[in-house]
Amino acid sequence: MAPGETAGYSYEEYKETADWLLSQTVHRPLIAIICGSGLGNLADSLKDQVIFKYSDVPNFPMSTVSGHAGRLVIGTLREKVCVCMQGRFHLYEGHAIWKTTFPIRVFQLMGVRTLIITNASGGLNPDYKVGDIMVLKDHINMPGFAGVNPLVGPNDQRFGERFPCMSDAYDKQLRELTKAVFCDLGHASLLREGVYCSLGGPSYETIAECRMLRLLGADAVGMSTTHEVISARHCKLSVLGLSLITNKTVMDYESMEHANHEEVLQSSKRSMQFLKEIVTHIIGRLPCLSDAS
């Protein structure tokens, strides 16, 4: 933590940002979408767009990663109002963990009730192929083992309880809806359901680390998502997680393969249209959320 930096945002700062965004548009989003590396074009599907650069939004951090545009897009998709993040914030950029999850509470104060979160990840499960999409049923938050958790510090009951449950982090009904969409669109062979593991990054995993994570039960690994999901569940948002498998992790010491960010971006680009189609159909089938608690 930098000298003079306080341990978190105040409720008033979250509220200031939410109120400012609502004052700039007639849209009232009920669904938030977070786009992972190379997946920002999902926002292009929104109609009647209002676009904000992160640098123009009060209190917002800045994204510095290639493949992350650093914009908020608010608009409609299948007659439902959404707010879409083109770029997220990571621990490896040097952000404090409470900064990486800042948008989640802002969205909740704006009226969002459902979070759809996407990421690009490396496949640990030997049955996974590049281009598969894994529906997250659970996660392993490795930084959390060392106390790196977005809920560390004083708890504000206006957002949620001190000790939120995480055994139901990923909404079962949303997962079942996603499976139905894949089947109805004829893409069932590309659908996986598994456990996502987050690491701090920015270095990719060693072979020994990949082997360990697989033994722990992880099917895919990345450098994001879990902090956002923890914050979302803390403030009672329903969460759907979708992980695009962009590369196979290296498990063999004789392998000549090397993980790299360009490979991730290229794989994401090839699967973009498919993922846009899936998310669009999922949102189209979501029930009316206006009366959700």
For the chain, counts of helices (H) and of strands (E): 7, 9
Strand locations in the chain (E): 31-35, 47-53, 71-77, 80-86, 114-123, 133-141, 191-198, 220-222, 238-248
Catalytic residue among 43, 96, 120, 134: 120
- Known catalytic residue at 223: yes
Q: For residue 159, give the 3-state DSSP assignment.
A: coil
Catalytic residue among 43, 85, 90, 271: 90
Catalytic residue among 247, 267, 268, 271: 247
- Known catalytic residue at 120: yes
Please state, as a whole number, how many other Cβ atoms lie within 10 Å of the Cβ of residue 233.
22
Tokens of 191: 């659908």
Check: CB of residue 156 under 8 Å from CB of residue 11: yes
Catalytic residue among 166, 261, 263, 277: 261
Largest CA distance in the chain: 57
Catalytic residue among 37, 119, 141, 198: 37
Catalytic residue among 13, 16, 93, 193: 93
- Known catalytic residue at 227: no
- Known catalytic residue at 224: yes
Question: What does the buried/exposed string (b/e) look like for 95-112 if buried means 16 or more CB atoms within 10 Å of the residue's CB?
Answer: bbbbbbbbbbbbbbbbbb
Catalytic residue among 68, 139, 227, 234: 68
d(CA 247, CA 129): 8
Catalytic residue among 198, 224, 231, 243: 224
- Known catalytic residue at 37: yes
Catalytic residue among 110, 134, 169, 223: 223
List the catalytic residues. 37, 68, 90, 92-93, 120, 223-224, 247, 261
